[in-house]
């Protein structure tokens, strides 16, 4: 799909006014992310899957920066790659030995899952191409952290507080569930 | 840049995540695939935020990141509990409620 996007970019490249560097960066990151995501859901080694997940998450952070969302990109690196992947690695470590290979009996299961995935993909692509055929992104300055902070603490203060309480409740819940006694 | 190139990338990642959730049997890998899905959603949010030149998309992406962190914490705690009780995190073995 990203090759298609790249081809479309090539077409517009000849007509002038295209941001070549940004499109090249997008293509490189998109291909890397898709390949890593495919490897992540198909590899037999669970630790390798976690490391492929790191590649995908870094790619997402790059996409955020490409879109001018610096603060979200940095948060992505800190929260996902710094915290969540470490949590996953601990989870893999603590449940080690329960799984050697992830495969064996799942031929039909794989087929059905692949069918569902392709179906979801087809429907989404049809809807997207139909709705946003050639919508251009506005070429604006990247949003600053101050703008995001103003927005969070004025317009979105209620959801922000709700997310804070949710996070607290989830962490206490995780401790209660996982505690040994 | 086109808006659609971001949306299509996000659709690809979302579909791969759906495949992972349905096809894998290891509980930790299913949680990782859910992370993939949430990241696809985040790309959508930020791309639409940039498209409409509004900061709301980024704010909601931050909320989704926080909710994802909470979800991983609870999910991994449940997987650990499962491992402690059954010595296995194969999700196909958890079928007591099957009719």
Mark whether A86 and A164 lie in a shared domain: no
Nearest to B72 among A64, A66, A84 (CB): A84
Per-residue pLDDT band for B34 (boundaries 50, 70, 90) equals very high
Beta-bridged to residue A136, according to DSSP, are: B2
For residue A50, the Cα-to-chain-centroid distance in whole angstroms is: 13
pLDDT value, residue A7: 56
For a pLDDT cut of 70, what percent of chain A falls above it? 83
Looking at A99, A115, A130, which one is the last position of a domain?
Answer: A99
Least confident window among A5-9, A154-158, A175-179: A5-9
CB spacing of A49 vs B23 below 8 angstroms: no
Residue A133 lies in a domain: no
Closest residue in B to A58 (Cα) is: B39
Whether residue A84 is contained in a domain is answered as yes
* pTM of the entire predicted model: 0.87
| Closest-CA residue to A116 (of B2, B44, B16, B88) | B16
B window 55-84, beta carbon within 8 A of A: 55-59, 61-63, 65-74, 76-81, 83-84
Residue A20 domain-assigned? Answer: yes
Mean pLDDT of A138-155: 85
What local confidence, expressed as pLDDT, does residue A59 receive?
A: 96
CB contact under 8 A, A87 and B16: no
pLDDT class of A134 with cuts at 50, 70, 90: confident
The residue of chain A nearest to residue B63, with distances taken between CA atoms, is: A163
Residues in chain B within 8 Å Cβ distance of A7: none
CA distance A80 to B7: 21
Rounded mean pLDDT of B22-44? Answer: 93
Q: Are A154 and A75 in the same domain?
A: no
- Any domain includes A124: no
Residues A7 and A80 in one domain: yes
Q: Are the Cβ atoms of B43 and A57 closer than 8 angstroms?
A: no
Q: How many angstroms separate the CA of residue B96 from the nearest CA in chain A?
A: 19
Domain membership flag for residue A14: yes
Last residue of a domain, one of A99, A131, A162: A99
For the cut 80, the answer to whether the pLDDT of residue A111 exceeds it is: yes
**A149 plus A79 within the same structural domain:** no
For A3-12, A112-121, B60-69, which range has the lowest pLDDT when averaged over its residues? A3-12
Query: How many domains does the structure of chain A reveal?
Result: 2
Residues of A in contact with B26 (CB under 8 A): 46, 99, 102
Is residue A113 domain-resident?
A: no
The SS3 call for residue B96 is coil
The CATH number that applies at residue A20 is 1.20.120.1200
One domain for residues A148 and A85:
no
Nearest-Cα residue of chain A relative to residue B51: A137
Name residue B26's beta-bridge partners.
Answer: B90
For residue A126, pLDDT over 50 is answered with: yes
Same domain? For A8 and A81 the reply is yes
Is residue A114 situated within a structural domain?
no
Q: Left if phi > 0, otherwise alpha if psi is -120 to 50, otherwise beta: which for A16? A: left
**Torsional sign, CA A71, A72, A78, A81:** negative
Residue A6 has pLDDT above 70, yes or no: no
Average pLDDT value over all residues in chain A: 85
Q: Is A153 a residue whose pLDDT tops 90?
A: yes
Are residues A95 and A22 part of one domain?
yes
**pLDDT tens digits along A35-76:** 999 999 988 888 999 999 999 999 999 999 999 899 999 999
Q: Determine the structural domain holding residue A51 and report its residue range.
A: 2-99
Cα distance between residue A170 and residue A99, in whole Å: 27
Q: Are residues A150 and A84 in the same domain?
A: no
- Tell me, yes or no, whether A138 lies in a domain: no
Q: Could B13 and A137 be called an inter-chain contact, meaning their C-beta atoms sit closer than 8 Å? A: no
Residues A134-171 as b/e (b if ≥16 CB within 10 A, e otherwise) read eeebeeeeebeeeebeebbeeebeeebeebeebeeebe
Do A95 and A8 belong to one domain?
yes
User: Which pLDDT does position A26 carry in this prediction?
Assistant: 93
């Amino acid at each position: 799909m990203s090759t298609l996007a790249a081809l479309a970019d090539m077409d517009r490249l000849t007509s002038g006014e295209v941001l070549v560097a940004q499109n090249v960066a997008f293509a490189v990151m998109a291909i890397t992310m898709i390949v890593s995501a495919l490897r992540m859901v198909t590899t037999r080694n669970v630790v390798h899957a976690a490391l492929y997940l790191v590649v995908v998450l870094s790619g997402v952070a790059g996409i955020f920066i490409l879109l001018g969302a610096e603060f979200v990109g940095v948060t992505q690196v800190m929260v996902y790659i710094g915290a969540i992947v470490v949590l996953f690695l601990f989870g893999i470590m603590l449940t080690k030995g329960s799984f050697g290979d992830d495969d064996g009996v799942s031929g039909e299961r794989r087929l059905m899952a692949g069918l569902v995935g392709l179906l979801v993909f087809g429907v989404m692509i049809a809807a997207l191409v139909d709705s946003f055929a050639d919508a251009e992104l506005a070429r604006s300055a990247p949003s600053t952290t101050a703008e995001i902070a103003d927005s969070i603490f004025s317009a979105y203060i209620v959801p922000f507080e709700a997310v804070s309480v949710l996070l607290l409740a989830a962490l206490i819940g995780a401790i209660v569930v996982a505690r040994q006694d | 840049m086109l808006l659609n190139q971001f949306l299509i990338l996000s659709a690809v990642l979302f579909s791969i995540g759906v495949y992972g959730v349905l096809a894998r049997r290891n509980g930790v890998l299913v949680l990782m695939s859910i992370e993939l899905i949430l990241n696809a959603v985040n790309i959508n949010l930020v791309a639409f935020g940039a498209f409409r030149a509004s900061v709301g998309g980024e704010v909601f992406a931050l909320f989704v990141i926080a909710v994802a962190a909470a979800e991983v914490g609870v999910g991994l705690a449940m997987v650990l509990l499962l491992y402690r009780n059954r010595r296995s995190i194969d999700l196909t073995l958890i079928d007591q409620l099957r009719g």
